[in-house]
Structure 1
């Protein structure tokens, strides 16, 4: 496709040209981004190279945000609402290289042609690289949050102040990201400091107390794990089967609180460890699982029960490849009622059928035959939820899980029960250190 013409896009004042120089990479980015604003496309940073010894940036490629194509993710079948494809292999770009003699960055290549239609001028300010939360807007967001105003209402109010949400220059997701980054900073200097001080005190009183923290690239605390001597001892005795759940949120930052739970020889609930996580990404789960095993002298689990979180499943497979990863049957039933009851024409029918698949059919051939018959009877071969849950059959259907040692556990109900116990102690405006450890 030929580049979209703009009457003023050929102006030498802002159009990139070979030989143009900049004092820094950041200034080059700002210039190309300004050009993108006027021509109506979004930009992003791409490949760069640095000097191996000094670490100084040697070259950088700035590209159109539609450059390349999205890579295939093996977990796509687990995605409930897949994102639309937005990349078109666009070749538009600007390449800069460091001129050693002058110490400045020079434009060595500029490609103007785009392989897609450009946006209209009225929408250019909402392109990803153009959106920005100003310092005054950020202050207003934080003030609204501290006053108890929900982010949705705060966003609507700020939109009315400037004559409409489209004039804000940022989206609801940008607002969410900004507030999340601010919460991260507050935790780093507030609650996290209290927690670390508490951990250090516990470790001095009992050397068996274990705790670990994970830092990000800016040396800010992200994930925290701990287990006291009693938890470690209980795991050594009863840690073959564990339930792990992160549905509880502990503080105003809405950070997930994960607990490793099991039961003892009296079938009483016992806790093996706890983790306060920054988010529910695969990296955070991987760190939490690895740290949990480290605290338990790397004694592997026989079975672990979780919900249907794809990031958690990936972490389980990477960290505990020899552990049976089982799905909570209660969660499956609840999702079936929401996603498939209309096909079965009733909640009782779908739960009855899944219950039989979970408990009645011993052999794989029998299970597969019954499943196929169900799809044919209800015309449900194309139902996305049934397709996705069938792909996970090795984690819940009896022919596959009958060999797993579960000690009679079938769900994450232990975790749910523990969450109920937490409620009287942990509220969003409570001190995390005091409330969590009082509950534990």
Structure 2
């Protein structure tokens, strides 16, 4: 409706119930309502800021009717003291500049290989013109800056309010997970920090077979509860999208926590750990190159389940 009117609204005032936080009333005004204070900047500025407040009195006041539990209009002033924006330029109003979820994904993908101007031009051509995008190049720049600065960190406290487990993932990790997160390898390392605490990581390959990291964590211990907490926060950071397959080592606590948090995810064992266990327990058999070749064939050359059973 704002686009049809050619104006932008601003929320000027509201009142809420201090006990329930229920909205009681709201005043909506034109974005040109009121006046700015006296500009104290240099009057000789080359690019002075345009005047945007000209005392427009158009407004809409709504109030909650306690009897019917609905908002009703109690005051409405329709007349503006300025010309409205034409439909061709209405998309430039601040309240009209919005990005759809699909556009946000395209911006994330374009930012990985195109300059800011190139990605904006590309999306404009796909939409039939920049005027059809619904946002400006400045909105795009601010969005990408926010994504780069954004990171997610989750911490778990014990009864003494001390941090025991910590998980984090930044914006790039989340973007990578959207593209390559169907199969994830999860593993922990030991005694590589001064506290001798397990360090856990979620990793996989991209389309160039380069290692990408989806998230990392420092854990207090390797119990099923700690892994369940970690998997839950990993899914929370990744918009509740669980991987289709998760590769781990043969840790029993991981195997116990996985079905609880990710019941639809297939649990598989990492081939590196399988080979290490084979070398540890039946190293004598690996002196025979034929036995080693057969094992390698089962692990790496057979992709069909029926063929694997026949072999």
TM range (shorter): 0.3 to 0.5
Greater share of strand: 2
Greater share of helix: 1
Normalized against structure 1, the TM-score is what? 0.35
Normalized against structure 2, the TM-score is what? 0.48
